[in-house]
Amino acid sequence: PIGHGEADLCLKGGLQHGVLHEVFAAIGHEAAATGFVAGLAIRVGADKHALWIRQDFSTHEFGALSPTGLLELGLDPARLLLLSVSNAHDGLRAASDALSCAALGAVVIEIPGSPKILDLTASRRLTLAATQKSVTPFLLRLGARPEISTVETRWLVRGAVSPTQNDDWGHPAF
């Protein structure tokens, strides 16, 4: 379960493990989508580590992953491994290898834009690799539009107004 009653009902109990999920960021809401994916990856991974694969330039374009921010979301940054690659091809290859590692609970593949290499064949390879060890992959798509793929679920995420509590910022809302 992801902890949202209506979403869990639609998902028939929650996110399925060992299948490909895709998350798109609404324009200007890349940080919200990143936080959403981080929460899902840690949640489905149970007590295992999650691997986050991102391209070198992603930090400059969309910001760095913040351990403090993860802690504020209630996530343990010690459970997140970060791999930086030079291009989408290397990211997809690393993801395929990582999905064969049963010690991981989830793999996040952050792919900005719409590179030609991320086609139906690539998503099918990720789907097949995920089923072997029941590791759950998430494609985080920033600055991209949905295309044909083999994903089990597809999400469009944007930030929402947090309910405030006293003088606190409130909990994040997506």
161 CB-near residues (< 8 Å, 6+ apart) = 173
pLDDT tens digit sequence for 101-151: 999 999 999 999 999 999 999 999 999 999 998 899 999 999 898 998 999
pLDDT, tens digit, 9 for 90 and up, residues 28-62: 999 899 999 998 998 888 789 999 999 988 877 88
Please provide the DSSP assignment of 113-172 as one string: S--TTSSHHHHHHHHHHHHHHTPEEEEEESS----S---SEEEEE--BPPPPBTTB----
CA count, 13 A, side-chain hemisphere, 125: 14
Instruction: Please state the rounded mean pLDDT for residues 18-37.
Output: 92
The answer on pLDDT for 164 being more than 80 is no
Query: What's the pTM value of the predicted model, to 2 decimals?
Result: 0.89
